């Protein structure tokens, strides 16, 4: 089941902003926890099963841990001290902040995974240009470039094999990766140039003078507004709950 | 009615070059005319097409000379199938050109469906473009041009990167399209025999001065070019090459694969006879490149047995994919399908020296492959033929026992083609074992001492 099927991709972006921006106001476990619980519970209904959420979301889990550990060690010492060495103090307050940061990174990061799943770049481009009125040449260029990313991997594999076959892959690791990165940059620029030529060959160079039409109309329907409303309600409610239980901490200070 | 195209004294010089890529061209194209344009690499065929398509850019990109009038919509299909797919779904891809020409929305979709129908792409509009074969991608680009209502269709070597089935597909599609739409057609092609039956005019672009010597920046020689009217009988034909002699009785195998399982396709059993040329053929997507990479120690086998004779192992005991890069390069040379993937240095000279080969051998190779005058040029600025020769030269630097070439004649003009065939023959005469992946009938005829067909 996927409640987000056929919604405008712009709604996904706006919904993401509505859902996560208010969470940046407070550093506490409760507000982020409520939003995170909503995201996790809603994910299977948005076409992202828990298995898929874990598979695509593990880097965010890792980032959350990496953000939380320094907070536990160096967060402003307050309350009981559990451990101490050099400048590190593990205290009640620092642990609390660490937990809050951990949950918050997940609460902001996982909705990105859920809302960005299965977005077709062409639909996104239609939405960005027609609904948000971003400049059309910029949007179309970005959409076309997004498709090139998938060719990146193939290029990289071929380049690695070519370097090995030519007997120059035994050199130092750093130098190897630097030359590989530079080669990839050159190839990407060339691919980009070829794609630009192909686009111009189909009349893209005339868009600047007279604009263009869109084969598919992109509009916001009632469902789009409902999705955005739900996102806003969840974020406001999570802040409200945090305030009412007294755990709201503006930017982690108070 | 006024002609579709009128060019008088047309010329173009790229901003970064001293000599013009094109100059003094007179050309008139009437509506519905079908023209086959031939000429040597570097004569300026692609530049002429780009000028007609309005793709040469403005004063910043170069200087134009003479006059050019084009009365109608022009659409162009380029050589490389992968780099001209624009959208992720075929319907959107075909619609792209219509949108840019401000065709009203209600009119776009009927045009898209008709265009796909004409080129014979019978697929749903939301079919992902990444699952298309090379031939299908070229037909998709053609559909995009038709949907724009092009009155002049320009095809720049549209079959160069396709297998024989794909080549036939695109020629048939073009024939149906021009018959139905009455559009004029200009085709640039190194293999003109595919097209001659449907053409009514044959032009040859001759460069005024021969050779590209002295242009450190790569191809694009000087002098003024001429467009010459020719006939179907004057079309360049491939030189007749001697047939492959076959494998002498009692030849031992340099490489033996038994039920070799690669990461793609079924297990394969084959032999590469020592000192002979083996050709590997099969349709696009059958796994030829994967098999060749595995045979050459660049991909680990998934199962089965891969045995190298002592002549190839030269004392190494480990499996070839575990050899160091250096050990591999001293034994096996690999020419990749896209030469650009192989280039790592700033100049042709550095490119040859980077793997630490013997300087005398490097000099000899550069002379033999006509690269000596390009020693200071950047590899990426070379012409297609020069890039191919350089990629072959770099694979031969370390005097390998086995040389593998992945579609070496793709997009090459007859001159480079003949040169490559001669070079491979020279290698086998010197006792080197060669494996080539190819779609090319003439290449197979000349170099198929031993043939392996996979599907």
Instruction: Give the residue carrying structure tokens 């997009």.
Output: B411
**d(CA A5, nearest CA chain B) in Å:** 15
Q: Is A237 part of any domain?
A: yes
At B154, phi and psi to the nearest 5?
Answer: -110, 130
| Residue A253, domain member (yes or no) | no
pLDDT grade, residue B110 (50/70/90)?
very high
Instruction: Please indicate whether, in this complex, the C-beta atoms of A161 and B334 are within 8 angstroms of each other.
Output: yes
Tell me, yes or no, whether A109 and A147 share the same domain: no
CA distance, residue B2 to nearest chain A CA (Å): 23
What is B416-440 written as a DSSP string? HHHHHHHHHHHHHHTT-EEEEE---
Q: Grade residue B143 by pLDDT with cuts at 50, 70 and 90.
A: very high
Inter-chain touch A165–B334, beta carbons under 8 Å: yes
Q: What is the mean pLDDT of chain B?
A: 87
* Residues of A in Cβ contact (< 8 Å) with B356: 167
DSSP result, chain A: -BTTTT--HHHHHHHHHHHHGGGGGB--HHHHHHHHHHHHHHGGGBT--HHHHHHHHHHHHHHHHHHHHHHHHHSPP-S-EEEEETTEEEEHHHHHHHHHHHHHHHHHHHHHHHHHTT--HHHHHHHHHHTS---HHHHHHHHHHHHHHHHHHHHHHHHHHHHHHTT-SSS-HHHHHHHHHHHHHHHHHHHHHHHHHHHHTTTGGGHHHH----SS-----HHHHHHHHHHHHHHHHHHHHHHHTT---BTTT-
Q: Are residues A57 and A137 in the same domain?
A: no
- In angstroms, rounded to a whole number, what is the distance separating the alpha carbons of residues A242 and B159? 65
Q: Say whether B96 and A202 touch across the interface (CB within 8 A).
A: yes
Contact A235, A19 (CB under 8 A): yes
- The beta-carbon neighbor of B78 closest among A151, A169, A197 is A197
**CB distance A190–B340 less than 8 Å?**
yes
Site from B14, B51, B74, B88 to mutate, A interface, most A CB atoms within 10 angstroms: B88
B82-109 residue pLDDT tens: 778 888 889 999 999 999 999 999 999 9
* Same domain? A178 vs A53: no
Q: Name the pTM for this structure.
A: 0.77
Task: Select the residue from A215, A217, A218, A219 to test the B interface by mutation, using most B Cβ atoms within 10 A.
Answer: A215
Question: Strand pairing partners for B261?
Answer: B303
Q: Lowest-confidence range among A142-151, B87-96, B147-156? A: A142-151
For residue B328, give the nearest of A159, A165, A191 by CB distance: A165
Q: Are B274 and B312 in contact (CB under 8 A)?
A: no
Q: What local confidence, expressed as pLDDT, does residue A91 receive? A: 86
pLDDT attached to residue B97: 92
Q: What separation in angstroms does the CA of B451 have from each of A207, B150, B287, B445?
A: 52, 44, 16, 10
Higher pLDDT, B342 or B232: B342
In the predicted structure, residue B13 carries a pLDDT above the cut 80: yes
| pLDDT greater than 90 at residue B292 | yes
Mark yes or no for CB contact A166/B329 under 8 Å. Answer: yes
DSSP element (H, E) containing B281: strand B277-281
Chain A residue with CA closest to B107: the answer is A215
The answer as to whether A162 is a domain residue is yes
CA distance A83 to B383: 68
Decide if B342 and A162 are in contact by the 8 Å CB cutoff.
Answer: yes
Q: Is residue A203 over pLDDT 90?
A: no
Q: Do A144 and B83 touch (CB under 8 A)?
A: no
CA distance B451 to chain A (A): 24
My answer on whether A114 and A167 are in the same domain is no
With CB atoms and an 8 Å threshold, state whether A162 touches B341: yes
| The pLDDT of residue B125 | 92
Test B344 with A179 for CB contact under 8 angstroms. yes
What is the structure's pLDDT at B253?
Answer: 94
**pLDDT tens readout for residues B181-226:** 899 999 998 778 888 889 989 998 887 554 443 333 334 444 556 7
Looking at the fold, whether A13 and A92 belong to one and the same domain comes out as yes
Contact residues for B59 (Cβ-Cβ < 8 A; gap 6+): none
- Please tell me which residue of chain A has the smallest CA distance to B93: A122
Q: What is residue B10's three-state secondary structure?
A: strand
Sheet hosting strand B201-206, strand order edge to edge: B74-77, B152-156, B184-188, B34-39, B201-206, B226-230
**Unique residue bearing structure tokens 């910029």:** A138
**Cβ–Cβ gap A165/B105 under 8 Å:** no
Assess whether A49 and A141 both reside in one domain.
Answer: no
Q: How far apart are CA B250 and CA B271, in angstroms?
A: 13
For residue B321, what are its two tokens?
């994919």
Lowest mean pLDDT among A241-250, B22-31, B325-334: A241-250
Q: In angstroms, how far is CA B355 from the centroid of its own chain? A: 26
B-interface mutation test, from A139, A158, A162, A185, most B Cβ less than 10 A away: A162
A211 vs chain B: nearest CA distance in angstroms? 7
* C-beta atoms of A166 and B341 within 8 A: no
pLDDT > 90: percent of chain A: 37
Dihedral, CA of residue A203, residue A208, residue A213 and residue A214, to nearest 10:
90
Q: Does B96 sit within 8 Å of A199, measured CB to CB?
A: yes
Q: Between A and B, how many CB-CB pairs are < 8 A?
A: 151
Residue of A216, A9, A187, A137 whose CA lies nearest to B93: A216
pLDDT above 90 covers what percent of chain B? 46
Please tell me which of the candidates B99, B145, B380 has its beta carbon nearest to residue A215. B99
Residue in chain B lying closest to A194 (CA)? B83
A116 to chain B, closest Cα gap in Å:
17
The percent of residues above 70 in pLDDT, for chain B, comes to 94
Whether A55 maps to a domain, the answer reads yes
Kindly report, residue by residue over B272-283, the tens digit of the pLDDT. Answer: 999 999 999 988
Q: Is residue A215 part of a domain?
A: no
Is there a domain that residue A124 lies in?
A: no
Question: Does residue A143 sit in the same domain as residue A77?
Answer: no
Name chain B contacts of A158, Cβ cutoff 8 Å: 336, 338, 341
Clarify whether residues A167 and A190 are in a common domain.
Answer: yes
Mean predicted confidence (pLDDT) in A224-245: 93
Provide CB contacts within 8 A for B67, sequence distance 6+: B6, B7, B8, B9, B10
Question: Under the phi-then-psi rule, with left for phi > 0, alpha for psi from -120 to 50, and beta for the rest, what region is B220?
Answer: left
In a mutagenesis test of the A interface, which of B52, B56, B100 is the best target, namely the one with the most A β-carbons within 10 Å? Answer: B100
pLDDT of residue B60: 77
Domain shared by A189 and A239, yes or no: no
User: CB distance B103–A213 less than 8 Å?
Assistant: yes
Q: Which of B95, B105, B342 sits opposite A217 (nearest CB)?
A: B105
pLDDT confidence of residue B215? 38
Question: Nearest CB to B89: which of A122, A151, A162?
Answer: A122
Do A194 and B83 count as a contact with CB atoms less than 8 A apart? yes
Q: Do A203 and B343 touch (CB under 8 A)?
A: no
Is A110 in the same domain as A232? yes
CB contact under 8 Å between A164 and B54, yes or no, is no
Tell me how far the alpha carbon of residue A122 is from its chain's centroid. 18
Q: Highest mean pLDDT: which of A10-19, A190-199, B17-26?
A: A10-19
Task: Name the closest residue on chain B to residue A190, using Cα atoms.
Answer: B380
Cβ contacts of B398 on chain A, cutoff 8 Å: 167
Tell me how far apart the alpha carbons of residues A90 and A71 are, in angstroms, rounded to a whole number. Answer: 9
Number of domains comprising chain A: 2
A115 & A137 share domain: no
Check residue B404 and give its pLDDT: 96
Is B343 in Cβ contact with A201 (below 8 Å)?
Answer: no
Q: Is the pLDDT reported for residue B43 higher than 70?
A: yes
Give B217-237 as a DSSP string. T-S---S--EEEEE-GGGS--
* Chain A residues touching B82 at Cβ < 8 A: 151
Q: Is residue A88 one of the residues assigned to a domain?
A: yes
| Alpha carbon of B85: minimum distance to chain A alpha carbons (Å) | 8
Q: Which domain holds residue A136?
A: 132-210
Cα of A145 to nearest chain B Cα, Å: 9
**CB of B200 closer than 8 Å to CB of B208:** no
**Domain presence at residue A112:** yes
- Asked if residue A136 and residue A90 are part of one domain, the reply reads no
Q: Which domains does chain B have, with CATH numbers?
A: 5-234 (3.40.50.300), 253-453 (3.40.50.300)
Indicate yes or no: CB of B105 within 8 angstroms of CB of A161.
no
């Amino acid at each position: 089941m996927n409640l987000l099927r056929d919604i405008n991709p712009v709604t996904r972006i706006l919904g993401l902003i509505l859902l996560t921006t208010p969470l940046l106001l407070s550093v506490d476990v409760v507000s982020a926890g409520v939003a995170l619980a909503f995201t996790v519970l809603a994910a299977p209904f948005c076409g992202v099963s828990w298995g898929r959420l874990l598979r695509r979301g593990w880097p965010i889990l890792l980032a959350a841990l990496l953000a939380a550990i320094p907070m536990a060690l160096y967060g402003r010492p307050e309350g009981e001290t559990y451990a101490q060495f050099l400048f590190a103090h593990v205290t009640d307050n620092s642990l609390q902040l660490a937990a809050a940061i951990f949950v918050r990174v997940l609460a902001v990061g996982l909705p990105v995974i859920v809302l960005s799943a299965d977005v077709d770049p062409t639909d996104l481009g239609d939405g960005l240009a027609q609904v948000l009125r971003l400049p059309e040449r910029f949007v179309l260029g970005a959409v076309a470039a997004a498709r090139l990313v998938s060719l990146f991997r193939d290029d990289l594999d071929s380049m690695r094999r070519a370097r090995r076959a030519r007997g120059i892959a035994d050199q130092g690791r750093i130098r190897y990766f630097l030359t590989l990165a530079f080669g990839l940059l050159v190839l990407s620029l060339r691919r980009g140039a070829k794609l630009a030529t192909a686009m111009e060959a189909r009349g893209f160079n005339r868009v600047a003078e007279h604009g263009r039409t869109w084969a598919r109309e992109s509009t916001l329907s009632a469902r789009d507004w409902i999705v955005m409303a739900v996102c806003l309600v969840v974020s406001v409610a999570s802040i409200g709950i945090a305030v009412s239980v007294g755990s709201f901490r503006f930017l982690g200070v108070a | 009615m006024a002609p579709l195209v009128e060019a008088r004294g047309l010329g173009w010089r790229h901003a970064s070059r001293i000599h013009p890529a094109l100059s003094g061209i007179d050309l008139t194209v009437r509506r519905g005319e079908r023209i086959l344009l031939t000429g040597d690499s570097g004569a300026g065929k692609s530049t002429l097409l780009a000028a007609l398509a309005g793709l040469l850019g403005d004063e910043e990109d170069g200087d134009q000379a003479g006059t050019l009038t084009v009365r109608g919509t022009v659409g162009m299909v380029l050589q490389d199938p992968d780099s001209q797919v624009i959208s992720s779904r075929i319907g959107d891809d075909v619609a792209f050109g219509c949108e840019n020409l401000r065709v009203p929305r209600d009119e776009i979709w009927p045009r898209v469906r008709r265009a796909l129908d004409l080129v014979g792409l019978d697929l749903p509009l939301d079919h992902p473009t990444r699952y298309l074969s090379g031939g299908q991608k070229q037909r998709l680009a053609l559909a995009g041009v038709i949907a724009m209502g092009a009155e002049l269709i320009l095809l720049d070597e549209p079959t160069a990167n396709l297998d024989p089935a794909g080549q036939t597909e695109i020629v048939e599609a073009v024939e149906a399209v021009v018959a139905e739409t009455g559009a004029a057609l200009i085709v640039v092609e190194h293999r003109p025999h595919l097209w001659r039956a449907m053409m009514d005019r044959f032009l040859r672009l001759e460069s005024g001065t021969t050779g590209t010597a002295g242009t450190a920046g790569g191809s694009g020689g000087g002098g003024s070019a001429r467009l010459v009217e020719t006939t179907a009988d004057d079309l360049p034909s491939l030189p007749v090459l001697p047939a492959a002699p076959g494998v002498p009785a009692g030849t031992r195998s340099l490489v033996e694969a038994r039920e070799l399982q690669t990461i793609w396709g079924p297990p394969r059993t084959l032999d590469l006879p020592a000192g002979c040329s083996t050709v590997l053929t099969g349709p696009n997507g059958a796994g030829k490149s994967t098999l060749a990479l595995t045979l050459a120690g660049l991909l680990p086998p998934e199962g089965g047995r891969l045995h190298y004779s002592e002549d190839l192992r030269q004392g190494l005991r480990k499996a070839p994919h575990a050899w160091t890069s250096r050990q591999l390069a001293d034994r096996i040379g690999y020419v990749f399908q896209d030469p650009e993937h192989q280039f790592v240095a700033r100049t042709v000279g550095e490119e040859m020296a980077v793997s630490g080969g013997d300087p005398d051998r490097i000099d000899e190779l550069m002379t033999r492959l006509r690269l000596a005058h390009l020693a200071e040029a950047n590899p990426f600025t070379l012409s297609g033929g020069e890039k191919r020769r350089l990629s072959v030269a770099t694979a031969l630097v370390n005097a390998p026992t086995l040389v593998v070439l992945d579609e070496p004649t793709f997009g090459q003009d007859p001159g480079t083609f003949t040169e490559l065939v001669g070079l491979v023959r020279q290698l086998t005469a010197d006792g080197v074992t060669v494996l080539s992946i190819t779609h090319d009938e003439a290449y197979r005829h000349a170099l198929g001492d031993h043939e392996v067909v996979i599907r």
